[in-house]
Each structure stands twice: as C-alpha cells, then as structure tokens.
A and B are shown apart, each in its own frame.
Chain A
C-alpha cells in the first residue's frame, strides 16, 4: 500500500508542478494588465528603494543636531527644509519610511500567520477548539480597534518600556487587532474546503492532520491570504501613524511618519512651518493608496471569479 501511494505521488508530481507554475504565471499576466495595480507596485518598489538606500547618499544621515540650521524652509542644501533640531527633513523622512514600512510588513506577517493558523485550526477541528478561538476573536472584534490600540499604547507608556523596544511591541499590538477578522474568514473557507472531495482522498490516504492542514488545505487559501496580507500592510501603516502621532506608538528618537507629524501639535510649527508635517502625511497617503491599488489588482488577478 505504502509503495503504491508513493508511486502515485511520484507520477503525478511533475505535472502538478507544471500546472501550478502556469496558474501563477497566468495570475501574473492578469496582474500586469491592471494598469493601476502596476502603478501601485512600481511606486511601492521605488518608495522602498528610496527609504532603504536613500539615506546612504545623504550627507545628513547621522542625524546630528545643527543649531545653526534650525527650522529652515526648503532650500538647495536641504530639499525639504530642517526641523527644530536642525536635522534634514528629507533624510529623516527616508529613515522614518524604513521604520513605518517595516512595522507595517512585520505586523502583517504576524497577524496573517496568527489569523490563518487559528482560523484553520478552528475550521478544521471545530468543536471546542473552534468555540474557544472564535469566542476570543469575537471579544477582540467587539471593542473597536482604535480605542483598544490607545489603551494598549497607554499601558505601554505607563510601563516605561525602553523606546528601542516599543517598535516591536507596536508590531505585536497591531497584529493583535488584525488577526480576528482574518481568522473568521479563513475559518469559513475551511468549513467548505474540509468537506470537498480532495479532502476525502486525503482521508483515504491516511494523511496526518498536520499534513492535511499545511499541504492540502492552507495552500488553497494562498490567493486569499496574499490579497488580505497586502491590504493589511496598508491598514497597519495607517494605524501605526495614528498611534505614533498621538505619542502612543513608536516614540522619538526613532522616527516614523506618524511621530514626525507630531510637529503639527505645536501651534507655530503648524501654522508657519508646514514643511515639518506635510511631507510625512503625503508619504503615508501615497504609500497606502499604492498598497490598496495593488491589493485590489491582486484580488482580480488571483481570483477572477470573486466579485469585487
């Protein structure tokens, strides 16, 4: 019996690989036709490249305080002006972009992993596992996200977490808010998938649960997960910026787009020095809209049947 199974597996494998790669290829071709999605993708790549490589070419990358150059408007030596400590805004904007993008992506990876895993477990095992996981998800979804984030941010400030660590805790906080919705989605997909015929085949083959989950069920959800993951990054960047703007997320000296906008809290900076707080706001907006365009294009490309 065992040898027959492996034989079958060997015979079918090359074909499966070819089929899968062509499906991905087709999806990519469909994506390439979505002009808006491609604009978003290219913009994101450029943005990431500028943020991660740009500071190496900047003469102001050390972030040294320069008392002679405080709050100067944009000029040839400082393209976006300088801040209250005489630091170059453009350089800080790029350095902040590194953090904001990293926080967005890392918290997406966390929340998608947690959400997919817990949702899959709930849908696969049902019974008390399902009950426990989904009730916890219900509770987290009952309290609107922003107040919950604010509470956690305030708790963080009270516990006097060192500023270097806060960025990691902010990632965890954001993923805590993000996973329940995804878990619910994955669970409902799981409930249908587990009744399908290929799962009966997997049952007959006597596969272990772990194998069924990770090699047969979850791969079917990859398109869904890719789309949700992409859109999640945008949401995470927005939430992080709000939190950091109110001083409850990542705090200075670590720059993020959100806490750079803190300058707008000072009346004179707000009224007379827009170069301090407008560029980070535009950076957030441009990044998030690109992500949303890309995510929407991906949805169409990966799952043409799904309604928009």
Chain B
C-alpha cells in the first residue's frame, strides 16, 4: 500500500511538471501580453513595466522563476487586478463552490432517485422516458441552454434575474440577502444540474440493474422481505458503493468553476474571472488558474482510487 502510494505520488509530480511546462509555454509563446495590448502607455513606460514584471527575460528563465515561486504557493501577480493570483482565486472560488455544491447536491438527489426507480421498472414506459431524457441531457450545448433559459424565464417571463449574484445596489443583509442570492442562483444551478444529471442517472441505473441480479438480492426476496425494503435497503446500498469514487472526480468541478455557465449568467466565480482574464491576456492569472485546475484533477484522481479501495476491500491496488 505504501509503495503504491509513493509510486502514485511520484507520477502525480511528474504529470504536474509536464502540465506546468505545457501551460507556461502555451501562454508564454503567445504574442502580445497585457502591457502590449494596453493602448494608453508610451513606449518607455512599456519597457519599464516589462522589466518590472520580468517579461524582458528569456522564456526559459521566466519558466524557472515562475516554477520556483509556484512551488512556494505563489502564482504571481494578476496584471489586471494588481493582486496576488492566489488571493484573487480565494476571493472568487467560494462563489463558484456555492454554485457547484448546490447543483451537485441536486444532481445526486435526482440521479439516485430516478436511476433507482427506472431500474426497478426496467422496460416500463417510465424507464423508456428516462432513457430518452438521459440522452437529451447528455447532448445539451450548455451555452445554448443557458441563453434559452435567460430568454424564457428572465427576459420574457421575468420570473428570475438574468444574471449576477445579487441585485445591483441592494443593501440587504441577513435573510433578505440570502433570498436574493438564492433567486439569482436558481437558473445557473438548474442549468448545471440538467447538464450533469444525465450521465449520473445512467450510471446509477446501470449499477442498480447489476446489483438486482445478484444472489443476495434473491436471498432477500426469498426471505419474504417487502420489495421496497429489498430495493432501498439491500440493493441501493450496494449500488451506491462504487459511486464513492465519483466524489474524487467531482473535485475539479467543485472548485474549478463552471466556466461557460458562470460566463453566461455573469456569476462572479473563478470561471467568469478566467474568461475576463482571457480578454485582457492577464497571463499570470490564466496560468495560475489552469495550473490550479491541473492540481485539482490529479488530487481528485488519486483520491478516487483510494476511496474505491476504502469502499470495496476486494479491490487490490498495484
């Protein structure tokens, strides 16, 4: 177990090293930077600024400087916001997390209940309807659904605000503030839930169908237990078990921000921050955030494997 863990950590470090090279050079080799694109600056001022930000040094040297700082948890200074990248991410990430955790909660709730129901009634019309719904959810172009929802529910029906996190200029506090945020969350959370619920429902349905066929379920039925008890107590627990690994894979999604959804709904999260940084070529912020995503992915994958072992001792890790 220890040697497995050490090997994994070594590969993680190697992968992240590769990712850092890729990320850095993709950005560094892009012509034009924050200083160049700013129209207001004179030529001398530009040179001065470049020297200040270290943009005048050779690319390879810049990589090692960036890397050295990154290892100490310092991803540099955002050029646009004039703030350390880490503190900027810290400011925005919790808004993203709020959105992601809410939609994850609803996704799992809906996916488990529908998945179990449709597995229990395999080949019924309900099951067929669920199957079509699952495919529809898997095929939705996220930006189109977002736009359509804004058009239908915010612009035409005026049921919900079109974007942002709170009403502009509102000075509400306490419960009124929370209610305001909830109203603004409704549409983006719905879109995010709709997008991920398809795959997960399918996953639970398949798991459930597999478990139902196993011997212990037959035993439970033979004992004369009610079908409800068999399904919800005996089968469901075993169908949920493998899903624990999914928690690991969810990690980047929870903190990484839903880039497109946040952009469309103007939600002040890291995804929105990222898209803004794109338009002004704020490279330290872009590199820092992309690297942050890569780290989350790697940690998520490792914890998925470890969780799988915890959930199912039959699994041997090599």
Contact among B16, B29, B135, B147 with A289 in the assembled complex (CB-CB below 8 Å): B135
Do the beta carbons of A293 and B278 come within 8 Å of each other? Answer: no
Measured CA separation A110–B29 after assembly (Å)? 25
Contact present for A147 and B293 (CB under 8 Å) = yes
Instruction: Answer whether residue B174 sits at the interface, using C-beta atoms and an 8 A cutoff.
Output: no
Residue B260 at the chain A interface, CB threshold 8 Å: yes
CB-CB under 8 A from B290, the residues of chain A are 143, 147-148, 151
Q: A138-B11, A142-B19, A281-B147 are in contact. Are A238 and B30 (CB under 8 A)?
A: no
CA distance A169 to B76 in the complex (A): 31
Q: Enumerate chain A residues within 8 angstroms of B148, measured Cβ to Cβ.
A: 278, 281
| Closest Cβ neighbor of A295 among chain B residues | B135
B73 within 8 A of partner (CB): no
Q: Considering only CB atoms, which chain A residue lies closest to B140 in the complex? A: A285
Q: Is there an interface contact between A142 and B155, defined as CB atoms closer than 8 Å? A: no
Q: Does B155 lie within 8 Å of A143, measured CB to CB?
A: no
Q: Is A36 an interface residue (CB 8 A)?
A: yes
B31 within 8 A of A: yes
Interface flag for A146 (CB, 8 Å): yes
A136 at interface, CB cutoff 8 A: yes
Check B294 for interface membership: any CB of A closer than 8 A.
Answer: yes
Q: Is there a chain B Cβ closer than 8 Å to A308's Cβ?
A: yes
Given A36-B132, A151-B27, A281-B144: A143 and B293 interface contact (C-beta under 8 Å): yes
- Is B139 touching A292 in the complex (CB atoms < 8 A)? yes
Residue A124 interfacial (CB < 8 Å): no
* Chain A residues whose C-beta falls within 8 Å of the C-beta of B275 in the assembled complex: 246
Residues of chain B in range 2-39 having any CB-CB distance to chain A below 8 Å: 11, 14-16, 18-19, 22-23, 26-27, 29-32
Interface string of A281-308 (1 = CB under 8 A from B): 1001100110111001000000000011
With known contacts A36-B132, A245-B143, A293-B135, A136–B18 Cβ distance under 8 A: yes
When distances are taken between beta carbons in the complex, the residues of chain A under 8 Å from B131 are 36
> When A242-B260, A292-B139 are in contact, do A151 and B26 touch as well, CB less than 8 Å?
yes
Are B297's CB and A144's CB within 8 A?
Answer: yes
Nearest neighbor of B17 in chain A, beta-carbon distance: A139
Count of A-B contacts judged by CB separation below 8 Å:
112
* Interface-central residue, A142, A274, A281, A296, by most chain B CB under 10 Å: A142
Mark out the residues of chain B between 237 and 256 whose CB falls within 8 Å of any chain A CB in the assembled complex: 252, 256
Q: Which residues of A contact B298 (CB under 8 A)?
A: 142
A155 beta carbon closer than 8 Å to chain B: yes
Picked from B18, B138, B294, the residue with its CB within 8 Å of the CB of A292 is: B138
Tell me if B89 is interfacial: C-beta within 8 Å of chain A.
no
Interface of A is mostly: helix
Query: Is the Cβ of B278 less than 8 Å from the Cβ of A154?
Result: yes
Q: Check A60 for interface membership: any CB of B closer than 8 A.
A: no
Inter-chain CA distance A147–B286, complex, in Å, is 9
Q: In the bound complex, what is the Cα–Cα distance between A279 and B298 (angstroms)?
A: 39
The distance from the CB of B28 to the nearest CB of chain A, in whole angstroms, is 11
CA of A182 to CA of B7, assembled, Å: 24
B196: interface (CB < 8 Å): no
Residues of the A chain whose Cβ atoms lie less than 8 Å from the Cβ of B140: 285
A270 within 8 A of B: yes
Please tell me if the beta carbons of B139 and A288 are within 8 angstroms of each other in the complex.
yes
Residues of A within 8 A of B (CB): 36, 135-136, 138-144, 146-148, 150-152, 154-155, 158-159, 234, 238, 241-242, 245-246, 261, 264, 270-271, 274, 277-278, 281, 284-285, 288-289, 291-293, 296, 307-308
Give me 27 A-to-B residue pairs in the complex whose CB atoms sit less than 8 angstroms apart, sorted by A's number: A135-B14, A136-B18, A138-B15, A138-B18, A139-B15, A139-B19, A140-B22, A142-B15, A142-B16, A150-B278, A151-B26, A151-B290, A154-B278, A155-B26, A158-B31, A159-B30, A242-B142, A242-B260, A246-B275, A281-B141, A284-B144, A285-B144, A288-B141, A289-B136, A292-B138, A292-B139, A307-B206
Interface residues of B (CB under 8 A from A): 11, 14-16, 18-19, 22-23, 26-27, 29-32, 131-132, 135-136, 138-144, 147-148, 151, 155, 202, 206, 210, 252, 256, 259-260, 274-275, 278, 281, 286, 289-290, 293-294, 297-298
Closest 6 CB pairs of A and B: A281-B144, A139-B18, A289-B139, A288-B139, A142-B294, A138-B15
